């Protein structure tokens, strides 16, 4: 029986063959693996893979070298079996036995968006976000196509995380949202939609003094780094908190 191959891209790039960690997927082989994974199962022509691997300066032996990389990647993904990387249509694709955490996330995120029941949607988002371990595709050479792919993947992940936080707050669990949002604003300090949710979540936990401090934190950051004021929704939230601040204790909590 052929062992399942699972490729993790949403954090350090890792490959498992059955229960074993695959070895040797480094350098250009890792770039090749990323290019095939991001294609989502469609065949990628050899010319496109050569461009992904070498950009505007491919070696004269690029096609021969590409075949060598494919051969070594097949070995890393399951011995001599050709099913891990399939040839055809002038290029290569991942075999049907290869799954990625990115494809799993995107499938569950799509299911969550199409689900009308908040409880079920939250369950789907829990599962979808479970595999997100850090910035996608670290260690893959940062060519333009990699940077563009990472930006798109991170935007999907952040939208899913924001929806998850909204559902947690809506179900009476603002503390869970605050924990996740605290880490997200540290990684994405200029994304105002995250700050808005964090401030709202802190207020929902009765930590309005800290919520007001967080507003000042993002206001200063936006001014210092972008030379802009907070957006309208953030300013309106700030005014609402100020109008209700007498309902809460006056002490301020330190940031963590």
User: For the domain that residue 122 is a member of, what is the CATH number?
Assistant: 1.25.40.10
Mean pLDDT of the 181-206 span: 96
**pLDDT above 90: percentage of residues in the chain:** 72
Indicate the number of domains in the chain.
Answer: 2
Percent of the chain with pLDDT over 70: 91
Residues 87 and 171 in one domain: no
Supply the pLDDT for residue 139.
81
Least confident window among 50-59, 114-123, 151-160, 226-235: 50-59
pTM given for the model: 0.87
pLDDT at 254 > cutoff 50? no
- For β-strands 14-17 and 44-45, DSSP reports them as unpaired
Burial of residue 183 (number of CB atoms within 10 Å: 0-12, 13-18, 19+): exposed
* Residue 210 located in a structural domain: yes
Task: Tell me how far apart the alpha carbons of residues 122 and 119 are, in angstroms, rounded to a whole number.
Answer: 5
Q: Highest mean pLDDT range out of 11-15, 139-143, 233-237?
A: 233-237
Q: Domain check: are 131 and 47 in the same one?
A: no
Q: Which domain holds residue 15?
A: 5-99
Cβ atoms 9, 101 nearer than 8 A: yes
How much is the pLDDT for 253? 28
| Alpha carbons 153 and 158: distance in angstroms, whole number | 9
Q: Given this model, what pLDDT does residue 144 score?
A: 87
Residue 59's CATH number: 1.10.10.10
Give pLDDT, residue 207: 95
Closest CA to 3 of 99, 102, 72, 87: 99
What integer pLDDT is reported at residue 2 of this predicted model? 65
């Amino acid at each position: 029986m052929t062992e399942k191959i699972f490729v993790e891209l949403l954090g350090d790039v890792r490959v498992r063959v059955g229960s074993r960690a695959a070895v040797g997927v480094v350098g250009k082989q890792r770039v090749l693996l990323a290019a095939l994974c991001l294609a989502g199962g469609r065949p990628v022509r050899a010319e496109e893979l050569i461009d992904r691997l070498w950009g505007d300066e491919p070696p004269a032996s690029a096609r021969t070298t590409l075949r060598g990389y494919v051969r070594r990647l097949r070995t890393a993904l399951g011995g001599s079996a050709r099913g891990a990387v399939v040839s055809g249509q002038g290029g290569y694709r991942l075999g049907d036995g290869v799954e990625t955490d990115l494809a799993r996330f995107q499938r569950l995120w799509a299911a969550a968006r199409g689900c009308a029941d908040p409880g079920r949607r939250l369950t789907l988002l829990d599962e979808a976000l479970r595999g997100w371990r850090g910035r996608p595709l670290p260690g893959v050479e940062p060519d333009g196509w990699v940077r563009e792919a990472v930006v798109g993947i991170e935007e999907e992940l952040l939208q899913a995380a924001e929806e998850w936080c909204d559902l947690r707050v809506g179900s009476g669990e603002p503390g869970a949202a605050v924990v996740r949002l605290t880490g997200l604003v540290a990684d994405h300090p200029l994304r105002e939609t995250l700050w808005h949710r964090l401030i709202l979540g802190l207020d929902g936990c009765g930590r309005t003094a800290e919520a007001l401090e967080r507003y000042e934190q993002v206001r200063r950051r936006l001014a210092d780094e972008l030379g802009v004021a907070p957006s309208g929704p953030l300013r309106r939230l700030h005014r609402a908190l100020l109008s209700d601040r007498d309902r809460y204790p006056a002490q301020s909590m330190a940031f963590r």
